[in-house]
Amino acid sequence: MIVYLNGEFLPQEEAKVSPTDRGFLFGDGIYEAIPYYKGKPFAFDGHWKRLQDGLGFLRIDFADHDEEKMKKVFDELLNRNNGLQQMTRAMIYLQITRGAPPTRSHVFPVSNGTVVKPTVFATCQEIAYPSPERWTAGFSAALVPDQRWGRVDIKTVNLLANVLAAQEAKDKGADEAIFVTEDDAHLITEGSKANVFGILKDDANGGSKIVTHPLSRQILPGITRNMVVQVARNAGLIVEERAMTRAELTEEAQEVFITSTTTEIKPIVKIDGKVVGDGKAGPMSTKLVALLRSQIEVETGV
Ligand code: PMP
């Protein structure tokens, strides 16, 4: 595996980061995961904008790594890693931390009068996707209290609560974790690594509607979430951006699915042991995957 670290391409085992790196000591950094289909990026602008928003929030100066330069880095990474350029789905992972100062101190580090340079790391991997049969059979989820900090809209490397939630779900035999607020409202925010959608009955027209948490500080503005909302609305489907209650998700939803760069749309057919809808991927999830795939095809040709 060849990775990119601070301007160099090198074998992963030779890529070394200082123990005083702010990412290691404080979780002081952000990351991005960008999908590539046969070497072509999908929704690159959205990923790049979210990255810039994160850098702005953290006040990390990344101005000498512009979009064109980083696109070349990503292309080269895919090229240097055994045919990932040809893979149907691959992911570029990019992480930027506030760098490695000589000593540990909470405030932004300055060394010899200049601001310490950020650490820039990028790697890539194939995205494994379930077979159509596995996808249709669906996946399970466990509900986990949302104990994350107040700015989860920023894609920081502080993923401790997400890690613990994913492990809690695994320990319970579930495939995914879905966060519920700890207050009395018991609202669904998102998954430990994905956004959450429910298909609910629409009393107004007797059909169904797609419901997902609105953009706010309580969820990551998922690029896939945004795409799904967009393709659904373009197809004339009803999308309601509001928080669902735990009861709506577990007792009323006809279908539930999660979205992310690595999973696209993943049907959830069991939550805390209770079957959702008829226990397999439903018609709306199937339709939305088709709509998302055609959008991917328009952009990447794949
Ligand atoms: N929420 C969380 C907490 C995530 O980690 C992810 C995956 N990065 C998402 C949502 C989905 O975001 P995206 O569609 O941009 O991958």
Instruction: Tell me if residue 57 falls in helix, strand or coil.
Output: helix
Q: Output the pLDDT for position 41.
A: 97
CB of 158 closer than 6 A to ligand 1? no
Distance 260 CA to ligand 1 centre (A): 5
**pLDDT tens, per residue, the chain with 302 residues:** 999 999 999 999 999 999 999 999 999 999 999 999 999 999 999 999 999 999 999 999 999 999 999 999 999 999 999 888 788 899 999 999 999 999 999 999 998 888 899 999 999 999 999 999 999 999 999 999 999 999 999 999 999 999 999 999 999 999 999 999 999 999 999 999 999 999 999 988 889 999 999 999 999 999 999 999 999 999 999 999 999 999 999 999 999 999 999 999 999 999 999 999 999 999 999 999 999 999 999 999 99
Nearest CA to ligand 1 atom 4: 193
Burial of 258 (0-12, 13-18, 19+ CB in 10 A): buried
Distance 63 CA to ligand 1 centre (A): 25
Distance 9 CA to ligand 1 centre (A): 27
Q: Which of 155, 193, 209, 266 is catalytic?
A: 155
Cα–Cα distance measured from residue 262 to residue 33, given in angstroms and rounded to the nearest whole number: 8
Instruction: Tell me if residue 21 falls in helix, strand or coil.
Output: coil
Is the Cβ–Cβ distance between 231 and 260 less than 8 Å? no
CB of 50 closer than 6 A to ligand 1? no
Is the Cβ–Cβ distance between 100 and 21 less than 8 Å? yes
DSSP assignment of 122-168 equals EEEEEPP---HHHHHH-EEEEEEE----S-TTS-BS--HHHHHHHHH
Give the global pTM: 0.97
CB of 54 closer than 6 A to ligand 1? no
Q: Output the pLDDT for position 8.
A: 98
CB of 194 closer than 6 A to ligand 1? yes
- Residues 269-286 as b or e (16 or more Cβ within 10 Å = b): bbbeeeebbeebbbebbb
Let me know if 155 is a catalytic residue: yes
CB of 77 closer than 6 A to ligand 1? no
Cα–Cα distance measured from residue 56 to residue 74, given in angstroms and rounded to the nearest whole number: 22
Q: Output the pLDDT for position 84.
A: 82
- β-strands 274-275, 110-111 pairing: unpaired
ipTM of the complex: 0.99
Distance 153 CA to ligand 1 centre (A): 10
